[in-house]
Structures are given as structure tokens and as C-alpha cells.
Amino acid sequence: MSLLKILHYPDPRLKKIASPVTQFDAVLHTLIADMAETMYAAPGIGLAATQVDQHRRIVVIDVSEERNSLLVLINAKIVQKAGTQVYEEGCLSVPGIYEKVERAEEITVEYLDLTGNAQILTARGLLAVCIQHELDHLEGRVFVDYLSQLKQSRIKTRLAKQAKANL
């Protein structure tokens, strides 16, 4: 297992659109194991392949307190959305920044599990927020994109300062 390097906003590679997974092989399983290890170590409640510069439609999530309920979503698609909720979001690719974002309260997703079997899941609350946040990454979007231009430019300035301080 290995820890993967997480890209930081505004890295242009975070804007790439991920391609569907077609091969359910050992290479895929290794990437997923490494993504899970990276998410738990961060620590984070989710990680999209885009964030580790792998532009394939793979997401790992664990919103449990115990950190023992790994959810792997491959080629996931939201097929139903209902209601709205506002949650203060953070992102491993935008370290130290937290802002409120409005999302659907409840979603239904169709996806493939790590053996390639089709699954369906209805989620609400934090899990629904996390799934929407991760699927955005696969489309090249980060939560910062939903904020005002002023907030976006302030966040870029803050992250640039942090990056400089970390040299």
C-alpha cells in the first residue's frame, strides 16, 4: 500500500474530466486500496481519483465515526435528487478552507462496486453531501467553484501564502 500525493487547488489537473472504468483488475484494486489509505491518513471522509491525478471515475468514501465503512463508487451516476441542504464543506485539495455549499438533501446513485457489479444507493445528509462533492471532482469541479469570485480569489491568495510558508 502507498500514500498518494493529493493535488492542491488551483492545480489545473483538478479540472480534468475523468473517464469511466472498464477493467476490474488488480491495477484498479491497488489504486482503490491506495486511495482508501490516503483518505484515512489525511484524514478525510472521501477522496476522488482526480485528487490523486488519476482521471478515472473512482471515489472512496467513509463517513462513519468508526472509520470502518469504506464505500467504493465506480462509474457512479446520480439518478434522483430531492430537497436541498447547506453544509460547511472542506476539501483535501483546498486545505484549511471551509465554506457553506448548497446541495441536494437526498440523492440516489447507480454505480459499480469493486467487482464490477451494479449497485444502487439512496443517501441523505452528510453522505449525500460527500457523494455530490466527490462526483464533482470527477467532472473537474471543486466546491470553491460555487463561491463568489471574491471568495475564490481570496482562497487562491490564502493557499498561495500557505504553499510559500511550507517551502
| Residues making contact with Ni ion (CB under 5 A) | 91
What HEC string does the chain produce? CCCCCCCCCCCHHHHCCCECCCCCCHHHHHHHHHHHHHHHHCCCCEEEHHHHCCCECEEEECCCCCCCCCEEEEEEEEEEEECCEEEEECCCCCCCCCEEEEECCEEEEEEECCCCCEEEEEEEHHHHHHHHHHHHHHCCCCHHHHCCHHHHHHHHHHHHHHHHHCC
Residue 10, interface with ligand GNR (CB under 6 A)? no
Whole-number minimum distance, CB 148 to Ni ion, in Å? 19
Whole-number minimum distance, CB 91 to Ni ion, in Å? 3
Closer CB to Ni ion, 8 or 24, in the complex: 8
**From the candidates 37, 106, 110, 134, which is the catalytic residue?**
134
Among 7, 47, 49, 109, binds ligand GNR (CB under 6 A): 47
Rounded-to-10 torsion of CA 163, 145, 54, 51: 40
37 is catalytic: no
How many angstroms separate the CA atoms of 116 and 72, rounded? 11
How many angstroms separate the CA atoms of 150 and 94, rounded? 16
Closer CB to ligand GNR, 51 or 75, in the complex: 51
Closer CB to Ni ion, 5 or 120, in the complex: 5
Q: Which stretch binds ligand GNR (CB under 6 A): 22-30, 40-48, 77-85, 153-161?
A: 40-48
Among 73, 112, 133, 135, binds ligand GNR (CB under 6 A): 133
Q: From residue 13 to residue 32, what is the string marking binding to ligand GNR with x (rule CB under 6 A)?
A: --------------------
Q: Active-site positions?
A: 134
Binding site for ligand GNR (CB under 6 A): 44-48, 51, 87, 89-93, 129-130, 133-134, 137
